[in-house]
Amino acid sequence: MDAAEATLSELMQGTGYREDGVPVPVALQNGQHLNGPLPDHAEGQHFLKEAFRIILEEALCQGTDTKEKVCEWRDPEELRAILDLELRDGGESHDQLLRRVRDVAKYSVKTSHPLFFNQLFAGVDYHALAGRFLTETLNTSQYTYEVAPVFVLMEEVVLSQLRSLVGWEAGDGIFYPGGSVSNMYAINLARYRAFPQVKLRGPWAVPRLAVFTSQEGHYSIRKAASFQGIGLGNVFMVNVDERGRMIPEDLDLRIELAKMQGAVPFLVSATSGTTIQGSFDPLDRIASVCEKHGLWMHVDAAWGGSVLLSKKHRHLLNGIERADSVTWNPHKMLLTGLQCSVFLLKDTTNLLKRCHCANATYLFQQDKFYDVSLDTGDKSVQCGRKVDCLKLWLMWKAVGTQGLEERVDKAFTYTRYLVEEMKKREGFRLVNEPQFVNVCLWFIPPSLRGMEDSEDYREKLSKVAPNIKERMMRKGSMMVGYQPQKGRVNFFRMVVLSPQISQEEMDFFLDEIERLGRDL
The smaller minimum CB distance to a second copy, of residues 98 and 257, is found at: 98
Considering the rule CB under 8 A, would residue 430 count as an interface residue with a second copy? no
Q: Considering only residues 52, 170, 261, 291, which one is a binding residue for a second copy as defined by CB under 8 A?
A: 52
Interaction residues for a second copy, span 261-290 (CB under 8 A): 275-276
Per-residue contact track with a second copy, 103 to 142, x per CB under 8 A?
A: xxx-xxxxxx-----xx-x--xxxx-xx-xxx-xxxxxx-
User: Given the complex with a second copy, which of 321 and 409 has the nearer CB atom?
Assistant: 409
Kindly list the distances between the CA atom of residue 7 and the CA atoms of 3, 28, 240, 330, 478, in Å, as whole numbers in the listed order. Answer: 6, 8, 75, 54, 62
62 contacts a second copy (rule: CB under 8 A): no
DSSP secondary structure string, 335-346?
A: ---S--EEEEE-
Q: How many angstroms separate the CA atoms of 152 and 170, rounded?
A: 17
By CB under 8 A, the residues from 359 to 398 that bind a second copy are 359-362, 365, 367-371, 374, 381-386, 390, 393-394, 396-398
Distance of closest approach, residue 418 Cβ to a second copy, in angstroms: 10
Taking CB under 8 A as the criterion, which residues in 153-172 touch a second copy?
153-154, 157-158, 161
Q: Taking contact as CB under 8 A, which single stretch among the options 56-64, 166-174, 265-273, 289-297 is the one that binds a second copy?
A: 56-64
Q: Which residue stretch of 243-251, 287-295, 342-350, 475-483 sits at the interface with a second copy (rule: CB under 8 A)? A: 475-483
Supply the minimum distance, in Å, between the C-beta of residue 416 and a second copy: 7
Q: How far apart (Å, rounded) are the C-alpha atoms in residues 493 and 344?
A: 28
Range in contact with a second copy (rule: CB under 8 A) among 67-75, 281-289, 320-328, 452-460: 67-75
User: How far is the C-alpha of 393 from the C-alpha of 130, rounded, in Å?
Assistant: 11
Q: Least distance to a second copy from the beta carbon of 270, Å?
A: 18
Under the binding rule (CB under 8 A), the answer on residue 149 touching a second copy is yes
Is residue 195 within 8 A of residue 206, CB to CB? The reply is yes
Q: Side chain identity at 498, as an amino acid letter?
A: S
Closest to 176 (Cα-Cα) out of 186, 163, 161, 165: 186
Of residues 113 and 285, the one with the C-beta less far from a second copy: 113
Q: At what angle do helices 76-83 and 94-107 cross, to 10 degrees?
A: 160
Write down the least CB distance from residue 412 to a second copy, Å: 7
Query: Would you give the binding string for a second copy spanning residues 3-42, x where CB under 8 A is met?
Result: -x--xx--x-----------x----x-x-xxxxx-xx-x-
Alpha-carbon dihedral sign for residues 108, 179, 217, 434: negative
- 73: Cβ–Cβ under 8 A, 6 or more apart, which residues? 473, 474, 476
Q: Residue 175 or 252: which CB sits closer to a second copy?
A: 175
Query: Of 393, 438, 388, 430, which Cα lies nearest the Cα of 412?
Result: 438
Q: What is the DSSP letter of 57?
A: I
Give whichever of 397 and 449 is closer to a second copy, judged by the CB atom.
397
Instruction: Provide DSSP, 184-208.
Output: HHHHHHHHHHH-THHHHH-GGGSPP
Member of 19, 20, 86, 455 binding a second copy (CB under 8 A): 86
Name the burial class of residue 436, with classes exposed (0-12), middle (13-18) and buried (19+) by CB atoms within 10 angstroms of its CB: buried
Comparing CB distances to a second copy, the nearer of 197 and 348 is 197
Query: Please, which of residues 476-495 interact with a second copy by CB under 8 A?
Result: 479, 481-485, 490, 493
Instruction: Pick left, alpha or beta for residue 458 (phi over 0 → left; psi -120 to 50 → alpha; otherwise beta).
Output: alpha
Q: Verify binding: residue 507, a second copy, rule CB under 8 A.
A: yes
- Half-sphere exposure (CA, 13 Å, Cβ side) for 352? 25
The window from 215-223, 265-273, 319-327, 453-461 that contacts a second copy (CB under 8 A) reads: 215-223
- Asked if 174 interacts with a second copy (CB under 8 A), we say no
Other C-beta atoms closer than 10 Å to the C-beta of 79 total 14
Give the count of residues interacting with a second copy (CB under 8 A).
189
61 lines the binding site for a second copy (CB under 8 A) = yes
Q: Give the SS3 label for residue 384.
A: coil
For the beta carbon of residue 300, count every other beta carbon within 10 angstroms: 31
Paired residues of 34 in beta bridges: 26
Select 54 or 253, whichever has its Cβ closest to a second copy: 54
Interactions with a second copy, residue window 307-346 (CB under 8 A): 331, 337-339
CB of residue 247 to a second copy, shortest distance in Å: 22
| Contacting residue, 214, 234, 376, 435, with a second copy by CB under 8 A | 234
CB 334 within 8 A of CB 306: yes
User: How many residues does the structure list for the chain?
Assistant: 520
Interface segment toward a second copy; rule CB under 8 A; list 91-99, 346-354, 429-437, 443-451: 91-99
Residue 331 CA to residue 344 CA, distance in Å, equals 15
Decide: is 421 part of the binding site for a second copy (CB under 8 A): yes
